[in-house]
């Protein structure tokens, strides 16, 4: 105990010089590197969405470099959703909280139609899945597929949930949103959504593969 | 517990999985035998084939 003070002091000094040694993995662990631009056209929008829940997609394998999902475990865990053209939209908004904290809000919007028993069954399944949590695969305008609802900081602890559902008949014939069901999935989490690797993205583009249930 | 060996090319990968109602994250090169057994139960394609499986 004679040197207790020295040991504590030394530990504090090491902590100040090498703070990463005392931080859990996933916090402040990415080092800054060169960003090289890719010379290609950029396309906005999203075209395809697949949905899974926590019980169906049981594990995600993520490669170290590049940082992407290389495998999803589960029996065809992601289900096809036929949305109205150009209604799929994914927003990922990060914002600082206070001085050092960070929060990312994901919102996925899409529309389906027409209101009937089939759409009702789908809506009910989203309502029932929501308490456990939902994951979504979104294919963006550049042809890159992403898993939203899982990230390397929170893992699967902050999945998407059904945030909003809206249906209006509209008055008369001149209402573009008339009788369209608008669905919104959202979450607030600590980490960025993760891209799928080329093989899994190709499955999403083709609409067939071991991670997708299409029929 | 079977002696589970992770494929060499998968060792640097990280797996996020659900167990006991919460999310777990493990780098495969640092996974314990217990964690590997859970991943085996999830039927993940990350293991070398055993002599029996060959």
* Residue range A139-175, pLDDT digits in tens: 999 999 999 999 999 999 999 999 999 999 999 999 9
Q: Is residue A119 part of a domain?
A: yes
Six token digits for residue A121: 């069954």
| A161-168: strand order across its sheet | A89-97, A101-112, A180-189, A161-168
Q: Point out the residue among B10, B13, B42 whose CB comes nearest to the CB of A58.
A: B42
d(CA A194, CA A180): 30
Per-residue pLDDT averaged across A96-100, rounded?
96
Query: Which ipTM value was assigned to this complex?
Result: 0.89
| pLDDT tens, position by position, B23-48 | 999 999 999 999 999 999 999 999 99
Between the alpha carbon of residue B12 and those of residues A5, A24, B8, B15, the distances in Å are 39, 18, 9, 10
**Residue-level pLDDT at A141:** 96
Chain B environment of A25 (Cβ under 8 Å): 25
Residue A34 lies in a domain: no
- Do residues A41 and A141 touch, judged by C-beta distance below 8 A? no
CA distances (Å), A58 to each of A96, A171, B38, in order? 31, 45, 11
For residue A17, pLDDT over 80 is answered with no
Residues of A in contact with B17 (CB under 8 A): 58-60, 73, 156
Higher pLDDT, A28 or A100: A100
Residue A80 lies in a domain: yes
Is the pLDDT assigned to residue A21 strictly greater than 70?
no
Predicted pLDDT at A27: 47
Strands (E) across A69-133 are located at: 69-73, 78-81, 89-97, 101-112
d(CA B7, CA A181): 46
Q: Distance between CA A182 and CA A113 in Å, rounded?
A: 9
Lowest mean pLDDT, pick from A5-14, A18-27, A32-41: A18-27
Least confident of A26-30, A60-64, A184-188, B49-53: A26-30
Q: What is the pLDDT of residue B53?
A: 76
User: Does A186 fall in a domain?
Assistant: yes
- Which domain, by its residues, includes A58? 42-213
Please give the pLDDT value at position A13.
73
Question: Is 70 exceeded by the pLDDT of residue A20?
Answer: no
Distance separating alpha carbons of residues A122 and A136, to the nearest angstrom: 15
Sort A172 into a burial class: Cβ within 10 Å, 0-12 / 13-18 / 19+: exposed
| Gyration radius of chain A over CA positions | 21
Structure tokens at A132: 């456990």
Tell me what pLDDT residue A1 has.
59
Given a cut of 60, whether residue A115 has pLDDT beyond it is: yes
Residue A117, SS3 per DSSP: helix
A22 has a pLDDT exceeding 90:
no
Q: Are the Cβ atoms of B42 and A59 closer than 8 angstroms? A: yes
Q: What pLDDT is stored for residue A83 in this prediction? A: 98
For residue A180, being part of any structural domain is answered with yes
Find, in chain B, the residue whose alpha carbon is nearest to that of A56: B18
- Structure-model confidence comparison of residues B13 and B52, the more confident one: B13
DSSP H helical ranges for chain A:
4-17, 117-129, 198-206
- Are A139 and A193 a contacting pair, CB within 8 Å? no
**Do the Cβ atoms of A157 and B22 come within 8 Å?**
yes
Determine the residue among B6, B15, B16 to mutate to test chain A binding: the one whose Cβ has the most chain A Cβ atoms within 10 Å: B16
What are A183-198's pLDDT values in tens digits?
999 999 999 999 999 9
pLDDT for A130 beyond 60: yes
Whole-number Å distance between alpha carbons of A197 and A71: 9
| Chain A residues touching B39 at Cβ < 8 A | 59
Does A124 score more than 90 pLDDT? yes
Domain-located, residue A111? yes
Residue A14 in domain: no
- Among the partner-chain residues A58, A63, A154, the one whose CB lies closest to the CB of B13 is A63
0.90 exceeded by the pTM?
A: no
Q: What is the DSSP-derived secondary structure letter of residue A64?
A: S
Is residue A74 very low, low, confident or very high in pLDDT (cuts 50, 70, 90)? very high
| For residue A64, pLDDT beyond 50 | yes
Number of domains making up chain A: 1
Chain A partners of B10 at a C-beta cutoff of 8 Å? 61
């Amino acid at each position: 105990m004679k040197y207790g003070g020295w040991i504590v002091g030394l530990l504090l000094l090491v902590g100040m010089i090498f703070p990463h040694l005392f931080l859990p993995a996933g916090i402040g662990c990415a080092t800054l590197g060169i960003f090289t631009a890719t010379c290609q056209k950029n396309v906005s929008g999203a075209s395809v969405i697949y949905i899974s829940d926590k019980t169906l997609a049981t594990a995600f394998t993520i490669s170290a470099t590049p940082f992407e999902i290389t495998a999803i475990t589960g029996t065809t865990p992601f289900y096809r959703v036929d949305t109205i053209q150009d209604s799929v939209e994914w927003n990922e908004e990060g914002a600082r909280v206070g001085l050092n904290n960070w929060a990312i809000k994901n919102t996925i919007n899409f529309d389906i139609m027409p209101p009937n028993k089939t759409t009702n069954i789908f809506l009910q399944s989203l309502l029932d899945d929501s308490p456990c949590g939902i994951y979504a695969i979104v294919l963006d305008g550049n042809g890159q597929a992403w898993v939203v609802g899982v990230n390397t900081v929170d893992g699967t602890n902050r999945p998407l949930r059904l945030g909003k559902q809206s249906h209006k008949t509209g008055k008369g014939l001149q209402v573009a949103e008339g009788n369209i069901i608008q669905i919104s999935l959202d979450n607030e989490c600590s980490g960025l959504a993760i891209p799928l690797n080329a093989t899994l993205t190709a499955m999403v583009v083709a609409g067939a593969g071991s991670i997708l249930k299409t029929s | 517990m079977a002696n589970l060996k992770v494929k060499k090319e998968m060792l640097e990968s990280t797996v996020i999985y659900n167990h006991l109602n919460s999310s777990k994250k493990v780098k495969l090169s640092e996974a314990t035998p217990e964690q590997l057994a859970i991943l085996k139960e999830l039927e993940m394609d990350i293991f070398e084939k055993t002599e029996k499986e060959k």
